[in-house]
């Protein structure tokens, strides 16, 4: 609107001027060598303007002819540049789609047409990377180091090449050089920090973390958490050499991240070493309320050196009450109760843990309780057998790897603060850990020793109940399965030191103490009257079970292919009833146990 107003205003001014000149009186007279040229003012002005326009047009034509070579060169250069950028754009699109051959072809064309274009050199280098020509890619990235404009680009490419080829030393060098060239590079700051932490150079890692935070590469919560993790790792490193410095580092780490378990544990240990029980307890209590952990309970139990087992039990119970109704606290109290020989308390805590959050460690601890309280090897092995099917214990995990101890970085990716306290999902790692705990509990030297005893019977029954034959075998008849189970059971009975241990190993979980004692408390005359019983009884003066009874039980298990468990009732998680809890059917089971044959108590 304003432009239209200005245009009409100028047009009006020109019209007014021409009208004014037309109204002027007189003539414009030009004389030259006796020739006089006279015209009105308006005509003279129009002729003057026409001659001026012709003169300027002629000057432009002459200048254009004189500058024509330069104009032609400019045209061809512009055309060449347009072709080069078109090839570069098409090459980048081909590279994005994974067509390395076409990207390389277009990259060569773009590099030919665009001599000093860094993007064309980058396209060729990345096309070589995509096609697997690492030597050419390194050569092209190294050529970029000579130009200050492309130096950081070349270092980034060489860093990626070094990582892909598994050369961490070279990768760390390129990242450090890139960080020196441009301190604000995010990838370089993170890479240097990760490599320093993986190399246990925690002091340098803390300094790098400070620089990254100053350059605003990370936010404040991430900075506080990572600093706490690195300070904890540094405190663990200096715990034995410089305890005072380690204590200050642990306190700072605990202040930055109160839920970081390793920081509280190492701080509590150092405070205990100094005799500052109150400080150690305060550190553990603060972290326990946020994230209960077995290491916290262990450090809290031994916060005061020289305490008795009962004092440690009281302390752990007080800690568990600060975060009540957790399986971690129940297991910690159960462990302290076992050490204090308070079996009733240990059993109650283990029952709570098994019904709320069952784990293999809880089942193994229940086996320890049976052995310590009653010396019942059979019941102990029953609990251990149930532990095989239980969920794995919680452990430190990072990127799918299960670790025995806490680490500040992931051993797989080098990521800081990657470890989390979680339950492994894969059965392989958990079963291996359980086997080691099983052998340690039973005090066996070799895994093959478990073939002698109730574990062999359990394995035989599980194999017999498998309805799927192997690839090179056919399904076995029932009589063959019965014979195999009878043979294994007879060997297990002869190898066991007493019948009570073997019977408890294979007895169902619902069997009560009264039902197990029926066969053992019979007099010698009844044992001798039983067909197939030893006239003198076994080592424990009880009747020896006979193969026919075992056969019937094994046949019953083999006829139930839906369950692979060697027990009469499969174990549910969480279990609805503890194996040592008789339940409402206890009296009925006792009456039925009295009518059973002596050997039937082994398998129910």
Taking residues 177-191, report their average pLDDT.
89
Model pLDDT, residue 352: 93
Is 87:67 a contact under the CB 8 Å cutoff? Answer: no
Q: What share of the chain is helix, strand, coil (3-state, %, to 5)?
A: 65, 5, 30
The CA–CA distances, whole Å, from 236 to 146, 230, 301 equal 44, 10, 20
* Residue (of 213, 142, 227, 148) closest to 183 by Cα position: 213
**Is the pLDDT confidence value at 276 over 50?**
yes
**Is the pLDDT confidence value at 248 over 90?**
yes
Model pLDDT, residue 310: 93
DSSP assignment of 18-73: HHHHHT--S-EEEEETTEEEEE-HHHHHHHHHHHHHHHHHHHHHHHHHHTHHHHHH
% of the chain at pLDDT higher than 90: 43
**Is the pLDDT confidence value at 512 over 70?**
no
Beta carbons within 8 Å of 150's beta carbon, 6+ residues apart? 118, 121, 122, 144
Q: Indicate the Cα dihedral angle 189, 190, 194, 196, nearest 10°.
A: 10
Return the H-helix or E-strand segment holding 420. Answer: strand 420-422
Model pLDDT, residue 300: 95
Task: Classify residue 568 by burial, with Cβ atoms within 10 Å: 0-12, 13-18, 19+.
Answer: middle
Taking residues 119-143, report their average pLDDT.
91
Model pLDDT, residue 434: 37
Q: What is the Cα–Cα distance from 397 to 237, expressed in whole angstroms?
A: 21
Q: What is the Cα–Cα distance from 375 to 49, expressed in whole angstroms?
A: 126
Of 201-205, 345-349, 355-359, 477-481, the least confident? 477-481
Is 233:419 a contact under the CB 8 Å cutoff? Answer: no
Greatest mean pLDDT among 301-305, 412-416, 443-447 lies in 301-305
Taking residues 593-599, report their average pLDDT.
45
**Is the pLDDT confidence value at 570 over 90?**
no
- Tell me the domain boundaries of the chain: 21-66, 358-405+422-443, 444-468+475-512+540-604
Model confidence at 560, in pLDDT bands (50, 70, 90)?
A: very low
Q: What is the Cα–Cα distance from 488 to 374, expressed in whole angstroms?
A: 27
Sheet of strand 401-403: strand arrangement: 401-403, 395-398, 420-422
* Residue (of 411, 410, 365, 415) closest to 390 by Cα position: 365
* Residue (of 572, 573, 488, 502) closest to 540 by Cα position: 502
313 vs 446, more confident: 313
Per-residue pLDDT of 57-94, as tens digits, reads 999 999 988 888 888 888 888 999 899 999 999 999 99
Q: What is the Cα–Cα distance from 351 to 343, expressed in whole angstroms?
A: 12
Per-residue pLDDT of 139-155, as tens digits, reads 999 999 988 888 999 99
As a whole number of Å, the end-to-end CA separation of the chain is: 103
471: alpha, beta or left, given left = phi > 0 and alpha = psi -120 to 50?
Answer: alpha
Taking residues 376-399, report their average pLDDT.
90
Angle between helices 261-274 and 243-256 (to 10 degrees): 140
**Is the pLDDT confidence value at 508 over 80?**
no
DSSP assignment of 393-410: PPEEEETTEEESS--SB-
Per-residue pLDDT of 323-372, as tens digits, reads 989 999 999 999 999 999 999 999 999 999 999 999 999 999 999 999 99
Is 215:184 a contact under the CB 8 Å cutoff? Answer: yes
Taking residues 555-582, report their average pLDDT.
40
On the question of a cis peptide bond just before residue 574, with omega within 30 degrees of 0, the verdict is yes
* Residue (of 332, 330, 335) closest to 369 by Cα position: 335
* Residue (of 342, 348, 344, 315) closest to 330 by Cα position: 348
**Is the pLDDT confidence value at 513 over 50?**
no
Helix extents (H) in 388-474: 427-442, 454-464
**Is the pLDDT confidence value at 435 over 50?**
no
Is 537:527 a contact under the CB 8 Å cutoff? Answer: yes
Model pLDDT, residue 426: 52
Taking residues 9-36, report their average pLDDT.
80
550 vs 172, more confident: 172
Write down the pTM of the prediction.
0.60
Model pLDDT, residue 35: 80
The CA–CA distances, whole Å, from 326 to 287, 345, 346, 356, 595 equal 15, 16, 15, 8, 43
Q: At residue 597, what are phi and psi to the nearest 5 degrees?
A: -75, 160
Q: What is the CA radius of gyration of the chain?
A: 45
Model pLDDT, residue 566: 34
Angle between helices 454-464 and 499-506 (to 10 degrees): 30
Q: What is the Cα–Cα distance from 567 to 389, expressed in whole angstroms?
A: 12
Q: How many CB atoms are located within 10 Å of the residue 40 CB?
A: 15
**Is the pLDDT confidence value at 392 over 50?**
yes
Average confidence score pLDDT of the chain: 76
**Which residue spans within 229-355 are E strands per DSSP?**
none
Question: Six-digit token pair at 293?
Answer: 């952990």
The CA–CA distances, whole Å, from 536 to 87, 349, 430, 539, 541 equal 100, 43, 45, 9, 7
Q: What is the Cα–Cα distance from 368 to 380, expressed in whole angstroms?
A: 7
Of 44-53, 237-246, 285-294, 297-306, the least confident? 44-53
């Amino acid at each position: 609107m304003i432009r239209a107003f200005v245009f009409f205003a100028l047009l009006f001014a020109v019209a007014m001027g021409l009208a004014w000149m037309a109204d002027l009186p007189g003539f414009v007279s030009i004389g030259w060598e006796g020739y006089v040229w006279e015209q009105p003012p308006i005509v003279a002005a129009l002729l003057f303007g026409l001659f001026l326009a012709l003169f300027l047009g002629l000057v432009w034509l002459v200048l254009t002819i004189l500058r024509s070579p330069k104009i032609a060169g400019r045209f061809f250069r512009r055309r060449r540049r347009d072709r080069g950028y078109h090839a570069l754009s098409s090459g980048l699109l081909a590279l994005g789609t994974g067509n390395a051959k076409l990207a390389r072809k277009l990259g060569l064309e773009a590099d030919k047409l665009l001599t000093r274009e860094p993007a064309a050199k980058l396209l060729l280098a990345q096309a070589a990377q995509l096609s697997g020509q690492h030597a050419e890619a390194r050569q092209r990235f190294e050529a970029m180091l000579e130009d200050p404009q492309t130096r950081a680009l070349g270092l980034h490419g060489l860093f990626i090449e070094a990582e892909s080829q598994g050369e961490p030393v070279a990768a760390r060098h390129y990242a450090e050089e890139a960080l020196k060239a441009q301190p604000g590079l995010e990838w370089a700051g993170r890479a240097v920090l990760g490599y320093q932490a993986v190399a246990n150079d925690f002091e340098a890692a803390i300094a790098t973390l400070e620089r990254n935070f100053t350059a605003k590469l990370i936010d404040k919560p991430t900075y506080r958490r990572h600093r706490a993790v690195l300070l904890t790792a540094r405190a663990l490193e200096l715990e034995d050499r410089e305890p005072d410095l380690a204590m200050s580092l642990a306190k700072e780490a605990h202040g930055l991240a109160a839920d970081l378990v390793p920081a509280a544990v190492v701080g509590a240990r150092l405070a205990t070493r100094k005799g500052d029980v109150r400080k150690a307890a305060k550190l553990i209590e603060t972290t326990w309320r946020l994230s209960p952990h077995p290491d916290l309970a262990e450090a809290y139990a031994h916060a005061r050196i020289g305490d008795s087992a009962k004092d440690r039990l009281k302390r752990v119970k007080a800690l568990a009450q600060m975060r009540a109704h957790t399986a971690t606290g129940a297991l910690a109290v159960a462990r302290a109760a076992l050490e204090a020989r308070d079996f009733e308390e240990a059993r109650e805590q283990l029952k709570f843990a098994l019904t709320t959050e069952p784990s293999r460690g809880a089942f193994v601890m229940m086996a320890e309780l049976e052995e310590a309280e009653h010396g019942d090897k059979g019941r102990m092995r029953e609990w251990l057998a149930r532990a095989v099917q239980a969920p794995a214990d919680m452990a430190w995990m990072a990127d799918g790897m299960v670790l025995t101890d806490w680490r500040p970085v992931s051993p797989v990716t080098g990521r800081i603060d990657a470890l989390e306290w979680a339950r492994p999902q894969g059965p392989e790692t958990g079963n291996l850990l359980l086997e080691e705990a099983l052998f340690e509990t039973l005090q066996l030297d070799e895994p093959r020793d478990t073939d002698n005893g109730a574990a062999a019977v359990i394995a035989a029954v599980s194999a017999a109940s498998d309805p799927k034959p192997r690839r090179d075998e056919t399904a076995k008849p029932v009589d063959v399965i019965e014979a195999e189970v009878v043979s294994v059971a007879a060997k297990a009975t002869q190898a066991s030191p007493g019948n009570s241990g073997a019977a408890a190993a294979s007895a169902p979980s619902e069997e009560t103490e009264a039902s197990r004692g029926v066969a053992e408390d019979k007099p010698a005359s009844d044992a001798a009257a039983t067909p197939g019983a030893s006239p003198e009884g076994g080592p424990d003066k009880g009747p020896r079970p006979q193969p026919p009874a075992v056969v019937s039980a094994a046949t019953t298990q083999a006829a139930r292919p839906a369950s692979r468990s060697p027990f009469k009732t499969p174990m549910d998680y969480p279990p609805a009833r503890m194996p040592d809890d008789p339940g409402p059917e206890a009296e009925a089971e006792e009456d039925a146990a009295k009518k059973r044959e002596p050997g039937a108590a082994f398998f129910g």
